[in-house]
């Protein structure tokens, strides 16, 4: 197996390999990559809102983000900008238990945060009804929108429930480019929810824009 080859024997082994690659990211390159992602995401949302205005469609108002763990890209500076300068409602995920969908609670830069399961932090804000845009932490991905997560199924359950409630929501995967599974015969599972868009530190490997 070469350094560019991902194991295909099992999903747990594939996850372990991708996590190891993320841990090996040079911190300076990771910081620069996250900065580029924040810039691209900011520009994309502005374009999306302009397009919706032209088409007389409702604008995006509520965004579900995530608190970064385990070497995930850090989007929090952008979250602060969206809340303080653009007036968006920003929400972060809260885990109820391992069988239920996530609940998204309102976050601001002044929100009190509590330590939660799996090393993440959760706000003590009020739940939002339904986000218009969900930023989905993504470990591995295909260019057809398939996502490999951490194996707990939280976002698959959550996106399934949200799409049944609000069909027009956008699920936008946030991933490092090293998670590209194009060269791997990865087969998504039947319950996996596909992403509408994917953003990496290298750009948009799958995008309608």
Q: What is the pLDDT of residue 3?
A: 44
Q: What is the pLDDT of residue 1?
A: 41
Structure-token match 């995967």, residue found: 173
Q: What is the pLDDT of residue 129?
A: 85
Q: What is the pLDDT of residue 208?
A: 47
Q: What is the pLDDT of residue 2?
A: 40
**Integer angstrom CA distances of residue 108 from 61, 99, 125:** 14, 28, 9
Domains of the chain plus CATH, in order, are 11-206 (3.40.50.10420)
Q: What is the pLDDT of residue 184?
A: 85
Q: Which two tokens stand for residue 44?
A: 């994309």
Q: What is the pLDDT of residue 103?
A: 96
Q: What is the pLDDT of residue 7?
A: 52
Q: Which two tokens stand for residue 20?
A: 């190891």
- Per residue in 119-158, pLDDT tens? 899 999 899 989 999 999 999 999 999 999 998 889 999 9
Q: Residue 33: is it exposed, middle or buried by C-beta count within 10 angstroms (0-12/13-18/19+)?
A: buried
Q: What is the pLDDT of residue 209?
A: 44
Rounded-to-integer distance, Cα 203 and Cα 209, Å: 12
What residues of the chain score a pLDDT lower than 50?
A: 1-3, 208-209
Say how many C-beta atoms besides its own lie within 10 A of residue 78's C-beta.
Answer: 21
Where helices occur in 26-140 by DSSP H, the ranges are 27-54, 76-81
């Amino acid at each position: 197996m070469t350094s560019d080859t991902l194991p295909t024997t099992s999903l747990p082994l594939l996850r372990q390999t991708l996590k190891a690659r993320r841990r090996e990211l040079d911190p300076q390159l990771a910081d620069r990559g996250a900065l580029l992602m924040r810039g691209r995401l900011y520009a994309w949302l502005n374009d999306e809102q302009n397009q919706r205005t032209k088409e007389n469609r409702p604008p995006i108002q509520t965004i579900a983000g995530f608190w970064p763990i385990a070497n995930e890209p850090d989007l929090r500076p952008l979250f602060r900008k969206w809340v303080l300068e653009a007036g968006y409602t920003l929400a972060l995920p809260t885990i109820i238990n391992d069988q239920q969908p996530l609940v998204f609670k309102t976050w601001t830069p002044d929100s009190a945060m509590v330590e939660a399961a799996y090393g993440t932090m959760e706000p003590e804000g009020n739940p939002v009804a339904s986000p218009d845009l969900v930023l989905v932490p993504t470990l591995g991905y295909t260019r057809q929108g398939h996502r490999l997560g951490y194996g707990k199924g939280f976002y698959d359950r959550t996106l399934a429930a949200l799409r049944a409630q609000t069909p027009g929501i956008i699920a936008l995967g946030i991933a490092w480019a090293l998670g590209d599974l194009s060269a791997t015969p990865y087969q998504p599972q039947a319950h996996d929810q596909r992403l509408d868009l994917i953003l990496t530190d290298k750009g948009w490997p799958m995008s309608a824009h």
